[in-house]
Amino acid sequence: QALYYSYLYQMGVLKQKPKRISPVLRADIRKLDARIEQMEFLQKHQITTREELLVYRIPLEEQVQALTKERKRLYRSEPDSARIGQITEELKPLRKDIRLCIRIEQQSREMEEKMRLAEQIQRQAEQEEQTEKNRQPRTESR
């Protein structure tokens, strides 16, 4: 029986299961996909600063609040209304964009902090290097 299956694999009748991707690699792929999505979002909306991101996000949040308020009113007055489903569908992309804006803002702050720390570490290393040069005994030539 094993020989039969090996022949089937060799002939290409049976496909081997794809090898599993390691969890670390899968996590990295998810992070990369998220970064790509963020970059595409920023390019699509021509956003270059956090202020522009905030200016873009505030009207979205106001729109979400207005639609949510309308949906609540409809739930009370006309629970079987088709408009409720329409509002829910309108809210999905708005909320997704808001979450994306918030994530972009958080990650940009984290990156900024990491860059600041890296610069600080580099400056400290340069200062230590300078002090080491100054501490070395000087030999005077006569």
Calculate the alpha carbon distances from 64 to 18, 21, 61, 70, 88 in Å.
43, 39, 5, 10, 10
Residue ranges, the chain, pLDDT below 70: 137-142
Mean pLDDT, the chain, integer: 91
For residue 138, what pLDDT is reported? 58
Gap between the Cα atoms of 2 and 12, Å rounded: 15
Torsion over CA: 48, 54, 57, 59 (sign): negative
DSSP 141: P
Burial 61-79 (b: 16+ CB within 10 A, else e): eeebeebeeebeebeeeee
CA atoms within 13 A on the CB side of 49: 3
What's the predicted TM-score (pTM) here?
A: 0.73
DSSP 142: -
Gap between the Cα atoms of 115 and 55, Å rounded: 25
For residue 20, what pLDDT is reported? 87
Per residue, the 3-state secondary structure of 64-102, as one string, reads HHHHHHHHHHHHHHCCCCHHHHHHHHHHHHHHHHHHHHH
